[in-house]
Structure 1
Amino acid sequence: MSTVITPPPQILVPVLGSDAAFPVGRIFCVGRNYAAHAREMGHDPDREPPFFFAKWADAVVPTGSTIPYPAATRDLHHEIELVVAIGAGGTDIAAERALGHVWGYGVGLDMTRRDLQAEAKKLARPWTMAKSFDQSAPLSALRPAAEIGHPSAGAIWLKINGETRQSGDLADQIWPVPEIIAHLSRLVALRPGDLIMTGTPDGVGPVRPGDRLEGHVDGVGDLAVTYR
């Protein structure tokens, strides 16, 4: 069957040290998965189950990019995150089997138009335009779990212009990766190609034109982008 318009291109993320690429389907994001960040956003991490929001696949922008400062905001914020790449789909996945569905990992930024988010919260409206906008998901090359294992502890940090702004440890996650996958798979059928952004440590804050952002997750990799 022919199409009436040219189909959009498949979003591909490179695999580090390889000519291969990972095709991206959907991007799910976990909110408030580090206790200190939940508190800095005014919430009690001991009383809330995980919740999810989404970004479009074409929000992905590769590491090394120079990115235009986004429209419709004066308060763009950084959120550094471990990213999980799903290789095998499923529903109602048990936590003890969840890591068998993971293809690999990367380092990502959940860029947020914080002023739009604050206004949406105040009016009890969806966050979509605060979270899923053009080039709002900078992402490193991915590394296969078969090569690096499944990181559950290790440093995660973000620097802006060489100054550390966020610093945490994967071990501080309220919901570790297996539990995230188990919970999400009870809400939607996971598919190969899905990405899961697993939440950010505390220290989120503003990004200005001209800033260079460098992110890192121990054992996974590095990410760098510049805003203009």
Structure 2
Amino acid sequence: MKKYKSSILLSFILLLIWEGIARYINAMYILPSPTKIIEKTFKLRKVLFLVHLPATLSVTLIGLFISIILGVSLAIAMSLNEKIERAIYPIMVVTQTIPVTALAPIFVLWFGYSIWSKVIVTTLITFFPITVNVYDGLRSTRTDMEELLVTYGASKKDIFIKLKIPYALPYFFSSLKIAVPISVIGAAISEWLGAQCGLGYFSKRMMTQLDGAGVFAPILVLSLAAVILVAIINILENKIINWRNEI
């Protein structure tokens, strides 16, 4: 808690400034105050946490799972074969230049309002940081350590499992910390553009009613969900990479 003390203090100051500006403007539909947003979230807690949050989390977690499988597989393939890297990497970059807001309606036309139209959007914007970071991690292995293992008779499989994977693990967890907030954003955007439930859909519905606090309430829930997911990843990272502090 102590290491986050300054962050908590800064957040509190910013919220106070926001509260003061919102009260001065006094226009709830334009800029609701943090206290009004919290009140609205509490008032809508059942529909937000029991109906729309599970829908958004389903899209987020399924999209993340597919992104991890796809991203790690591509990273391994590129690290093992330079020709694959030259063929795949430019295509991956191109996929990141296409606006999500342009693709989401197309996926809705293809898959309807099912969960898969939203999962594809989430996967599309999250697999890239996972792929690039894991690929960089696999390439970061020290050459002298590889040569040492070779002199001891280690095979390429042994080098990959016992050296390259441990070196890539910190990069993998770093990529997850990037991908999780992006996946939450991607799920919300896809729901905003075409869905029948979810926090993004609910936020859009509140906007049509000019309910400023109602628009921000699901955003607050989204932020809390992202923070919790990143905290879980931090815990897993500290448990799995416990050898890092000993180096």
Same fold per TM (> 0.5)? no
**Which structure has more helix as a fraction of its residues?**
2
The structure where strand makes up a greater share of residues is 1
Return the TM-score normalized by structure 2. Answer: 0.22
Report the TM-score, using the length of structure 1 for normalisation: 0.23
**Larger RCO: 1 or 2 (CA < 8 Å, sep 6+):** 1
Higher-Rg structure is 2
